Structure 1
Amino acid sequence: MKILISDKFDPSLPQRLEPYGDVTEDKSRLPEADIVLVRSATKCTKEYIDQAKNLKLIIRGGVGLDNIDLAYAKEKNIIVKNTASASSVAVAELAFALMLSIPTRLIEAHESMKAGKWEKKNLKRTELYTKTLCLIGTGNIGSEVAKRAYAFGMKVIGYAKDTPKVREIIMFEKLEEAVKNADYISLHVPAVPETIGMINKETIAMMKDGVAIINTARGEVVNEADMAEALKSGKVHAYATDVWLSDPPAKDSPLLSAPNVIMTPHIGANSKENLLRISDIVVNMVRDYIEMVKHIQF
């Protein structure tokens, strides 16, 4: 088997895969590859797949599959897998860190100290304790965020159309009912037709004044222009995001100049521990696939 590692994984991965085939990180060898390993940078479009004449398996190191043309891969009988469970803790920790930075005013405190100011009396904080957190999406990552919220004494409610109900989370069947009383809203849904642009001026109008929104899901879930307007008006107190419509964001993104935006460069899954977990799962998937092929051939 010829295995192409197309994006950055843990440095140990190439050596760990050597028992299972000819491993390369040379992207020019795509036409030879039986297996391609990607993260979010490589876009497995129809054109990309057509170049890979021998391709049989795509493994996405991470959760989202929006960089892969799933319909065309299926048409070409190419198996697509992801490492959905691996990134849950890493992304949940970042989501919670972003949320915690809002009431603690950490960014403002840090910047004021760097500027030589002493803003002790002006930087009034609030607490997460007793506040209501609404999780839009209660799958692997949302559930991990819920655990951390409970430890801080928060009330956790949720809305999820296609994910199973989580025992500890009070679930709502309608988005409007879920968001209307939330102090914080954390997004944990994929970018699919049903969710793209779901956080827009209409849904924001349903929310309580001064809500804070955290997005470690996908940039496409939020209408950037509507969010910027809500931040300017004060309807949304703060927006903390790790995700964008493109990586990096367009220079004219309205969020870059909007007030009270906390920004990170899509680092949610980029912990050392998570990269090792992803590699573990990838190695097992490659091994299992090769064993399956051997069994079929036998």
Structure 2
Amino acid sequence: MSRKPVFLVTGADLAPQALALLTDYEVVFAGKTPTEDDIVTLCRQHDPVAIIVRYSKVGAAAMDAAPSLKVISKHGSGTDTIDKAAAAQRGIQVKAAVGANAAAVAEQALALLLACAKSVVQLNERMHAGHWDKATHKSLELAGRTIGLVGLGAIGLRFARMADAMGMRVIGFDPYAKELPAHVQSVDLETLWRESDAISLHCPLTADNARLLNAQTLARCKQGVIVVNTARGGLIDEAALLEAIRSGQVRGAGLDSFAVEPMTAPHPFHGEPRITLSPHIGGVTSDAYVNMGVAAAKNALAVLGA
């Protein structure tokens, strides 16, 4: 009896609803924190026809170790951990589960924005320590203020609807976005830096936009701007952001992604009261886990069935 073709998952699990779609295949899991070398070894061992990418990077070495590989399918929307140029050279398709985690990530961005504007974390800590700061604390009201969105894909537009519902003016930059809704005004980056009271990043990381938020661009922003990043850590020059926080140029930052992940400890951001941190869990909800798994499996199967 011939062996079933293999799907390699660069993680320890996949939603049952996704696995149910893959009964014609053998599914091999790489474990919780696979390295690039682990993935190369598994490719050499199992020669998968498809890889579903959850963690770690998939580069040319893995592709060369799997001559039967036809498709690399991302369990999520960001494909920066996949060497797309190498895949294209080898005729391997790269697919993303676009929009599968849009609600989850947009909600996390909103949570971080509100945490910064309303000092949620700091006031909670003060209250638990027995303080009552009502006479001395003033929060920032977001209604009537301008939010600038860099990236107007599924996540950015979902977040834009939330911001609009709160009475914020929404401006956005995305050279690829078409037919924007009436509540989103398209602007260039210079206008976005100049006019935004808060900035939220929702774009993929590319060679062109690495460290998009840096000392120069932060200096062009309004004093007291809030920065939210639920996209990719490489979009921000972390040293420049920390300096802008400490100088007061940036009022607060809510960050869910970092230049190096897992975040190194100790890290310069640790203990900084006006930086609110979460461990890249914007897209990690029970619903998004199912949606991303199913979309990743369907995307791969569509290529294999073509």
Do the two structures share a fold, i.e. TM-score over 0.5? yes
Q: Equivalences for 1:212-291 in 2 at 5 Å?
A: 212-251=226-265, 253-291=267-305
Q: Which residue among 36, 61, 64 is the counterpart of 1:47?
A: 61
TM-superposed deviation, 1:11: 3.6
Higher relative contact order (CA 8 A, sep 6+): 2
Q: Give ranges in structure 1 of 5+ residues lacking alignment.
A: 293-298
Q: Which residue among 77, 88, 101 is the counterpart of 1:63?
A: 77
Q: Report the counterpart of residue 33 of structure 2 in structure 1.
A: none
Give me the CA root mean square deviation.
Answer: 1.8
Corresponding pairs, count:
290
Q: Which residue among 144, 154, 157 is the counterpart of 1:143?
A: 157
C-alpha distance after superposition, 1:218-252 (max 9, x if no partner):
11111111111111100111111100011112336
TM-superposed deviation, 1:157: 0.8
SS of the residue aligned with 2:23? helix
Q: Could you tell me how far apart the structure 2 residues matched to 1:111 and 1:189 are? A: 33
C-alpha distance after superposition, 1:91-112 (max 9, x if no partner):
1010011001122211011111
SS of the residue aligned with 2:80? coil
Q: Higher mean Cα deviation, 193-202 or 15-24?
A: 15-24
Residue 38 of structure 1 pairs with residue 53 of structure 2: yes
Q: Could you tell me how far apart the structure 2 residues matched to 1:177 and 1:165 are? A: 20
> Residue 12 of structure 2 contacts residue 29 of structure 2 at CA under 8 Å; is this kept in 1?
no
Q: Report the counterpart of residue 25 of structure 1 in structure 2.
A: 29
SS of the residue aligned with 2:195? coil
- What amino acid does structure 2 have at the position aligned with 1:5? V
Q: Could you tell me how far apart the structure 1 residues matched to 2:175 and 2:304 are? A: 36
Q: Equivalences for 1:99-118 in 2 at 5 Å?
A: 99-118=113-132
Residue 4 of structure 1 pairs with residue 18 of structure 2: no
Residues 1:155 and 1:265: Cα distance change in structure 2 (over 3 Å): same
Q: Report the counterpart of residue 80 of structure 1 in structure 2.
A: 94
Residues 1:90 and 1:45: Cα distance change in structure 2 (over 3 Å): same
Q: Higher mean Cα deviation, 28-37 or 229-238?
A: 28-37
**TM-score, length basis structure 1:** 0.91
> Residue 14 of structure 1 contacts residue 23 of structure 1 at CA under 8 Å; is this kept in 2?
no
Q: Could you tell me how far apart the structure 1 residues matched to 2:94 and 2:108 are? A: 27
Q: Could you tell me how far apart the structure 1 residues matched to 2:239 and 2:229 are? A: 15
Q: Report the counterpart of residue 168 of structure 2 in structure 1.
A: 154
Residue 170 of structure 1 pairs with residue 185 of structure 2: yes
State, as a whole percentage, how many aligned pairs show the same letter.
30
SS of the residue aligned with 1:156? strand
Q: Could you tell me how far apart the structure 2 residues matched to 1:210 and 1:165 are? A: 32
TM-superposed deviation, 1:114: 2.0
Q: Could you tell me how far apart the structure 1 residues matched to 2:148 and 2:179 are? A: 14
> Residue 87 of structure 2 contacts residue 94 of structure 2 at CA under 8 Å; is this kept in 1?
yes
